[in-house]
């Protein structure tokens, strides 16, 4: 990378960080007010007003998510995204993510298959963030699927979480690029998205000493696979922390 490119990259990182921090406070307050308004209107006899409040809540939630993605990207670039590690059962991560998505999208249905208790040393909030991203991608881009399958299993001494849909898939030439920041594969691009979700998800999984890969074929759906090391028995100590950033 030339010195000019390096300077441009550093300036871009600084801009993202400043923009994210400046937007976060007013957006968080706005989202709180919209949530309060939505609750107050829940018993309103005016269905149109309640419907408008519901849509406003959905859009404010999306804005907050976009800002958080920007901040996470800046943290990753500066190796400042911290993990709170503890011994966790991945079933709780799967259950939490699935219930969150089910609460906002009834279709396509999500079918879950879990192979008993599967323990890892991880940050449950960040791992749930990864799974939420994959499930939301399935709901938004494979809405015509009969169902989305989530399978949690053990294989070859590792934990595996697979998320599979029967949607339109991703062109073969696009697959190598889908984990690049700000990149969106053509069939999956949508308004209001930054193309950061998969980039952040892969870095979070990598920080857990795991891997995230995507397999897809046009017209035959997409399969995302998270692989994580199982926890070493016996459980050791209390929670620990670690800073993560993009891999070189």
My answer on whether 38 and 124 are in the same domain is no
Q: What is the SS3 assignment for 111?
A: strand
Q: Is the N-terminal amide bond of 234 cis, ω within 30° of 0?
A: yes
The whole-number pLDDT of residue 191 equals 45
Looking at the fold, whether 123 and 44 belong to one and the same domain comes out as no
Q: Are 157 and 229 in a shared domain?
A: yes
pLDDT in tens, 71-117: 777 778 767 678 899 999 999 999 999 998 888 777 889 999 998 89
**pLDDT over 60 (residue 192):** no
Are 69 and 123 contained in the same domain?
A: no
19, 118: one domain: no
Report the range of poorest mean pLDDT among 50-54, 148-152, 208-212: 50-54
Q: Say if residue 15 is in the same domain as residue 135.
A: no
Segment 203-231 mean pLDDT: 93
* CATH number of domain containing 217: 3.30.565.10
Task: Please identify, among 77, 104, 120, the residue that sits at the C-terminal boundary of a domain.
Answer: 77
Residues 46, 71: Cα–Cα separation, whole Å: 38
Per-residue model confidence (pLDDT) at position 44: 76
d(CA 114, CA 110): 13
Left (φ > 0), alpha (ψ -120 to 50) or beta: where does 145 sit?
A: beta
Last residue of a domain, one of 55, 77, 99: 77
Domain harbouring 56, CATH code: 1.10.287.130
Question: Do residue 125 and residue 206 come from a single domain?
Answer: yes
Per-residue tokens: 120: 């890892």
Host domain of residue 71: 3-77
Judge if 98 and 215 occupy the same domain: yes
Query: Do residues 100 and 207 both lie within one domain?
Result: yes
Nearest-10 crossing angle of helices 47-77, 3-40:
150
- Indicate whether 90 and 62 sit together in one domain: no
- Backbone conformation region of residue 192, classed left if phi is above 0, alpha if psi is from -120 to 50, else beta: left
Q: What is the gyration radius of the CA atoms in the chain, in angstroms?
A: 19
Mean of pLDDT over the chain: 81
Q: Residues 156, 216: contact at Cβ < 8 Å? A: no
Task: Give yes or no: residues 195 and 128 share one domain.
Answer: yes
- Contact between 120 and 90 under an 8 Å Cβ cutoff? The reply is yes
pLDDT at 92 (0 to 100): 95
Give CA separation, 150 vs 73, 123, 134, 138, 192, in Å.
Answer: 27, 20, 10, 11, 26
Q: Of 11-25, 108-122, 178-192, which one has max mean pLDDT?
A: 108-122
Domain boundary among 60, 77, 94: 77
In the predicted model, is pLDDT for residue 219 greater than 70?
yes
5's CB contacts (< 8 A; 6+ apart) are none
The answer on 97 and 33 residing in a single domain is no
Q: Which two tokens stand for residue 240?
A: 């620990």
Please count the structural domains in the chain. 2
Whether omega before 108 lies within 30 degrees of 0, making that bond cis, reads yes
């Amino acid at each position: 990378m030339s010195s000019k490119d390096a300077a441009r990259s550093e300036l871009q990182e600084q801009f993202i960080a400043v923009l994210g921090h400046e937007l976060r406070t007013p957006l968080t307050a706005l989202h709180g007010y919209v949530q309060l308004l939505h609750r107050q209107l829940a018993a309103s006899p005016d269905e149109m007003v309640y419907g408008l409040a519901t849509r406003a809540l959905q859009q404010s939630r999306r804005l907050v998510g976009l800002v958080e993605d920007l901040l996470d990207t800046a943290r990753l670039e500066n190796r400042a995204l911290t993990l709170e590690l503890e011994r966790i059962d991945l079933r709780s991560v799967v259950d939490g993510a699935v219930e969150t998505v089910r609460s906002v999208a009834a279709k396509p249905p999500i079918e879950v298959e879990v192979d008993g208790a599967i323990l890892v040393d991880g940050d449950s909030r960040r791992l749930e963030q990864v799974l939420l991203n994959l499930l939301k991608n399935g709901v938004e881009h494979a809405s015509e699927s009969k169902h989305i399958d989530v399978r949690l299993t053990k294989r070859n001494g590792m934990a595996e979480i697979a998320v599979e849909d029967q949607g339109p898939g991703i062109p073969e030439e696009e697959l190598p690029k889908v984990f690049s920041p700000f990149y969106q594969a053509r069939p999956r691009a949508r308004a209001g998205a930054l193309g950061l979700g998969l980039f952040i998800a892969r870095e979070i999984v990598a920080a857990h000493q795991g891997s995230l890969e995507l397999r897809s074929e046009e017209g035959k759906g997409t399969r995302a696979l998270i692989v994580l090391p199982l926890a070493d028995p016996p459980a050791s100590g209390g929670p620990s922390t670690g800073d993560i950033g993009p891999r070189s």
